[in-house]
Structure 1
């Protein structure tokens, strides 16, 4: 956990930071194999692109290799499954979500000399490719298709309503540390849905190393402890949230939960 806390994510590639995060959550993550697989894919890409000269044709050749030859694709059937957030599993299954597929593409693209960047657009992770003529394009890493700002605004309308508009901040390049933080939240949500409470607890503990005493993380930790039958710890976490966020609608619900759990503790003892 301390290694994750001390890591300078912007000094390494996003996919490398994701693997550090993955291993911090689940020690069974195949980190060594994943690095070897990334190196293998890079070598194959270098051989495939060797005859291409124009930067856009080279990049299009990389996309064909990635999505057609290798068969990487967005996981439409199990989009929110935790396997889409663990890089070793994405490499093995050839399925992922925008941020995990995008992280692999970022790694390959930069190693191949492309000026490619990540954008944490409000609806999903997007890539921006800067061409040698000064123009740039946006790419949806979920399917490897170029998208326009008009399309991205449509995503935003679907997300925020008909009055939504793209702001300059929505298209700003995103630092790796920000993406890793969101990646951690994504994995925690997935693991909670899958009732993988021990791993979800690791996510919450990691989040609290970055933002200590975050009442919402502590509330979530209380829920996890409750599922793990650690009721005394859960009660303390719920009470902390109630005290810190008394106006939050969840506080009233948790007061009822705390009362019920407190009665059970009295009966048990």
Structure 2
């Protein structure tokens, strides 16, 4: 599988949103219709919020995105791919926070509001800088957070296991954003039992992270579910060799030994 749009993310040659549209196209032939609809909405949103500036414009954008357009968090406890792939999130108006964040970021760009994706435990936030002050948007519901609230949320999410530092709340680079998004999509396809699509996503991630042992292990699992045991053996063996101390490595060793043992049929 070849994904040229994922080959140069270290250099950020393409805008992240353009790459995400390509990811949607890989799974849905009608994706462009929803993308076109979304940009029409963004044009209308930019016009509707034009009278405001700064934080007031950000709040107007948030209100329109979550209330007028009706975007909201996914209702299921375990979300499927339709809550992650951006074209389906546009169509259904519901999605996981990572997808809502990326759509809201693009809405901000159209409205002249640069929003940065911030690496955060649990799910990413968006950051807006205005007049030497940083504001953070919770993509789950559009709540606008200031510094103290971000710190309190960090403590809650990490259950006070880590000491908060602003150095830990970094603007995410394109590679990190895409890996986080694609990892969510991989798990969603596995949850949907759509293993062929999950395999496609694993190959997308491996385009960004070549030879990553954990992704190769996951590819082995997906291949096993697709009844490709011989290929799964190679991937599991690679993982065991690269990560011998990982807790899952021992289980995989036992599984590989079982597969290697001749099975005798009793008559």
Give your verdict on TM over 0.5: yes
CA shift for structure 1 position 264:
6.0
Q: Which moved more, 1:30-39 or 1:97-106?
A: 30-39
1:115 is paired with a residue whose SS is coil
Q: 1:54 to 1:213 in 2, by over 3 A?
A: closer
Could you tell me how far 1:16 is from its partner in structure 2?
Answer: 2.4
Q: Which of 238, 241, 244 pairs up with 1:243?
A: 241
After TM superposition, give the deviation of residue 56 of structure 1 in Å: 2.3
CA distance in structure 1 between the aligned counterparts of 2:55 and 2:245, rounded to whole angstroms: 53
- Quickly say closer, same or farther: Cα 1:235–1:115, change in 2 above 3 A: closer
Q: Does the aligned pair in 2 maintain the 1:126–1:141 contact within 8 Å?
A: yes
CA contact (8 A) 1:188 1:203 kept: yes
- Gaps in structure 1 of 5+ consecutive residues: none
Residue in 2 aligned with 1:199?
197
Cα separation, 1, equivalents of 2:263 and 2:189:
28
1:63 maps onto 2:68 in alignment: no
Partner SS for 1:124 = coil
Aligned pair in 2 of structure 1 residues 171, 249: CA closer, same or farther (>3 Å)? closer
Q: CA deviation at 1:7?
A: 4.9
Gap change, CA 1:255 and 1:79, over 3 Å in 2: closer
- In the aligned structure 2, how far is the partner of 1:20 from the partner of 1:169? 32
Q: Confirm or deny: 8 A CA contact 2:116 2:127 kept in the other structure.
A: yes
Task: Determine whether 1:40 maps to 2:57.
Answer: no
Q: Is 1:86 equivalent to 2:85 in the alignment?
A: yes
Alignment of 1:141 onto 2:139: yes
TM-score (ref. length: structure 2)? 0.89
Give CA deviations for 1:6-36 in whole Å, capped at 9, x if unaligned. 3558354433222223334x2x253311331
Q: Deviations over 1:224-260 (max 9, x none)?
A: 1111111111122212222222222212111211122
After superposition, the C-alpha distances for 1:92-128 in whole angstroms (9 at most, x for unaligned) are: 0001122211111111111211132111212211111
Whole-angstrom CA distance in 2 between matches of 1:58 and 1:214: 42
- How many residue pairs match? The answer is 263
TM-score (norm: length of structure 1): 0.88
**Alpha-carbon distance between aligned partners in 2 of 1:192 and 1:74, rounded to the nearest angstrom:** 20
Deviates more, 1:55-64 or 1:178-187: 55-64
Unmatched segments (≥5 aa) in structure 2: none
Q: 1:73 aligns to what?
A: 72
Query: Going by fraction, where is helix more abundant, 1 or 2?
Result: 1
C-alpha distance after superposition, 1:13-70 (max 9, x if no partner): 433222223334x2x25331133122211121133124x2432222222111111111
2:37 and 2:233 map into 1 onto residues whose CA distance is: 45
Conservation of the 8 A alpha-carbon contact between 1:153 and 1:166: yes
> CA–CA distance in 2 between the matches of 1:124 and 1:157?
14
Q: Following superposition of structure 1 onto structure 2, how do residues 1-269 of structure 1 map, counting pairs within 5 Å?
A: 1-8=2-9, 10-24=12-26, 26=27, 28=28, 30-50=30-50, 52-78=51-77, 80-131=79-130, 133-263=131-261
